[in-house]
Copies of this chain bind each other. A is one copy, B any other.
């Protein structure tokens, strides 16, 4: 059902996606989708969480890194997920839904702040840890937008390893540098 939900949100966008179509894609009764997830908002939240599972699991594994090494490991984790077309497609679909619909934006906002960036901020010892995590994430998300969605050259063509090399120090600066 989650795979069907991700496909439906990706194909139809949040506005036009329906529980009925998600049920049809999973070959189950719509009542079963309602039973497991609840409303369309809740299905979307579950789809976001499942698409982002590699990131949340990765960040939990990173918790063993010292904050001084987190810039590179966070940057590497980010591109490890986005470089994989199967991992990227649902993320682009979610971002697209959030840009087109305020409810979807609110769900993504809660997830990004509550599940992803809180994991990053939790490893920092700074009063402005949340803002630092957001500025670091903004650098990476902006690169993802220009590289994978708009495909601006030369950014779209250079090897991911070169991006990690250039961006890790910037991410590290946001996380632990002098503000």
Contacts and interface: CB of A to CB of B under 8 A. Distances in A.
Interface string A138-179: 111111011001111111001000000011001001100001
A98 interface: yes
A142 B137 contact: yes
A130 B146 CA distance: 13
Given A96-B100, A100-B96, A170-B174, A134 B108 contact: no
A17 to B, nearest CB: 14
A71 to B, nearest CB: 12
Interface residues of A, number: 40
A149 B113 contact: no
A20 interface: no
A24 B64 CA distance: 61
A1 interface: no
A149 B96 contact: no
Residue from A137, A142, A146, A151 whose CB has the most chain B CB atoms within 10 Å:
A142
Given A138-B139, A138-B155, 10 more contacts: A92-B99, A109-B152, A112-B146, A131-B154, A134-B152, A135-B167, A139-B170, A141-B142, A141-B145, A142-B142
